[in-house]
A and B are shown apart, each in its own frame.
Chain A
Amino acid sequence: MTNFRDHMGRPIVAVTGIGVVTSLGVGKADNWAALTSGKSGIHPITRFPVDHLNTRISGMVDFLDSSAKGASPLTYELAETAAHEAVAESGLDSSDFGGPLFLASPPVELDWHERFSLYNSDKQDAGAERLLRVARGLKELDIFETTQFGSIADRLADRFGTRGLPITLSTACASGATAIQLGVEAIRRGECDRALSIGADGSATAEALIRFSLLSALSTHNDIPEKASKPFSKDRDGFVLAEGSGALVLESLEAALARGATVLGILRGCGEKADDFHRTRSKPDGSPAIAAVRAALADAGLGKDEIDYVNAHGTSTPENDKMEHLSLSTVFGERIGSMPVSSNKSMIGHTLSAAGAVEAAFSLMTMRESVIPPTINYDNPDPAIVLDVVPNKKRNAEVRSVLSNSFGFGGQNTCLVMAREPV
Chain B
Amino acid sequence: MSSPRDVVITGIGLVSSLGEGPDAHWQKLAQPGLQPVLEAARFAPYTVHPLPEIDWNLQIAKRGDQRQMETWQRLGTYAAGLALDDAGIKGNDELCATMDMVVAAGGGERDEAVDAAILAASESRNDRDVLLNEKLTTELRPTLFLAQLSNLLAGNISIVHKVTGSSRTFMGEEGAGVSAVETAAARIRSGQSTHVLVGGAFQTEHSDMLLGYELAGYLHRGPWKPVWQRQGAEGGGVVSGSGGAFLVLEQREHAESRGRKIYAELGPVVSGRARRSRGELDAEIAGLLSRAALPNGKLLALSGASGAHAATSAEKTALDAVGTIAARGFSTLTGHMKEAQFPFAVALAALAVDRKAAYPVFDAAAEKPFEGIPASVLATAIGYHQFEGMALVKSA
Contacts and interface: CB of A to CB of B under 8 A. Distances in A.
Interface of A: 48-54, 105, 107-110, 112, 115-116, 119-120, 126-132, 135-138, 141, 143-144, 147-151, 153-154, 157-158, 164-172, 178, 182, 185, 188-189, 191, 206-207, 210-215, 272-280, 288, 408-412
Interface string B150-193: 11101110110011111111111101101100110011001010
Given A49-B133, A169-B170, A136 B214 contact: yes
B167 A51 contact: no
B133 A52 contact: yes
B164 A275 contact: yes
B167 A410 contact: yes
Contact of B158 (A126, A165, A275): A275
Given A53-B133, A135-B215, A189 B186 contact: yes
A169 B214 contact: no
Nearest to B119: A119
Interface stretch (B32-40, B140-148, B293-301): B140-148
B9 interface: no
Nearest to A212: B145
Contact of A215 (B145, B152, B216): B145
B275 A158 contact: yes
A171 B168 CA distance: 6
B287 to A, nearest CB: 11
A412 B272 contact: no
B217 A138 contact: yes
A157 B276 CA distance: 13
Given A49-B130, A149-B172, A157-B273, 7 more contacts: A128-B116, A132-B211, A148-B385, A167-B183, A215-B143, A410-B146, A410-B154
B107 interface: yes
Contacts of A213: 137
A131 B207 contact: yes
A215 to B, nearest CB: 6
A134 to B, nearest CB: 9
Contacts of B192: 185, 189
Nearest to B215: A144
B366 interface: no
Nearest to B117: A127
B169 A169 contact: yes
B136 A210 contact: yes
A255 B152 CA distance: 38
Contacts of A278: 159
Contacts of B175: 150, 165
A274 B211 contact: no
A165 B179 contact: yes
Contacts of B163: 274, 276
A276 B171 contact: no
A150 B171 contact: yes
Given A131-B211, A135-B214, A167-B179, A108 B107 contact: yes
A280 B146 contact: yes
Nearest to A142: B215
Sorting the interface of chain B by its residue count into under 10, 10 to 19, 20 to 34 or 35 or more gives 35 or more
Given A131-B207, A276-B159, A410-B155, A147 B186 contact: no
B190 A189 contact: yes
Contacts of A153: 172
B170 to A, nearest CB: 5
A306 B154 CA distance: 33
A409 to B, nearest CB: 7
A206 B172 contact: no
B30 to A, nearest CB: 33
26 contacts: A52-B130, A107-B107, A112-B132, A131-B211, A132-B207, A135-B211, A135-B217, A138-B216, A149-B176, A153-B172, A158-B275, A165-B179, A165-B272, A165-B387, A170-B150, A170-B169, A172-B149, A211-B145, A272-B166, A273-B165, A274-B101, A274-B163, A275-B164, A277-B159, A411-B158, A411-B167
A207 B210 CA distance: 21
B310 to A, nearest CB: 13
Nearest to A138: B215
Given A107-B150, A274-B163, A412-B167, A279 B155 contact: yes
A286 B81 CA distance: 26
Given A48-B129, A49-B133, A110 B208 contact: yes
Nearest to A147: B212
A227 B214 CA distance: 45
Given A206-B129, A214-B145, A141 B216 contact: yes
Contacts of A288: 164
Contacts, number: 243
Contact of B106 (A49, A112, A127, A149): A149
A147 to B, nearest CB: 5
Q: Which 5 A-B pairs have the closest CB atoms?
A: A410-B155, A150-B172, A128-B207, A127-B116, A149-B171
B130 to A, nearest CB: 5
Contact of A52 (B122, B134, B176): B134
Contacts of B165: 273-274
Contacts of B187: 185
B368 to A, nearest CB: 29
B219 interface: yes
B360 interface: no
B159 A168 contact: no
A126 B159 CA distance: 39
B124 to A, nearest CB: 10
Nearest to B236: A136
B240 interface: no
Most buried by A among B106, B179, B387: B179
Contacts of B159: 276-279, 411
B271 interface: yes
Given A50-B133, A171-B169, A210-B136, A128 B122 contact: no
A282 to B, nearest CB: 12
Nearest to A216: B142
A148 B146 CA distance: 20
A206 B132 CA distance: 8
Nearest to A211: B145
A50 B133 CA distance: 8
Contacts of A143: 215
B151 A408 contact: yes
Given A126-B116, A135-B211, A51 B133 contact: yes
Nearest to B138: A52
A167 B217 CA distance: 25
A170 B217 contact: no
A132 B110 CA distance: 15
A168 B219 CA distance: 24
Contacts of A48: 129, 132-133
Nearest to A52: B133
A102 B130 CA distance: 37
A131 B149 CA distance: 23
B158 A276 contact: yes
A141 B167 CA distance: 33
Given A274-B101, A274-B158, A276-B158, A107 B149 contact: yes
A164 B272 contact: yes
Contacts of A147: 211-212, 215
Nearest to A165: B271
Contact of A207 (B107, B132, B169): B132
B112 interface: yes
Contacts of B272: 164-165
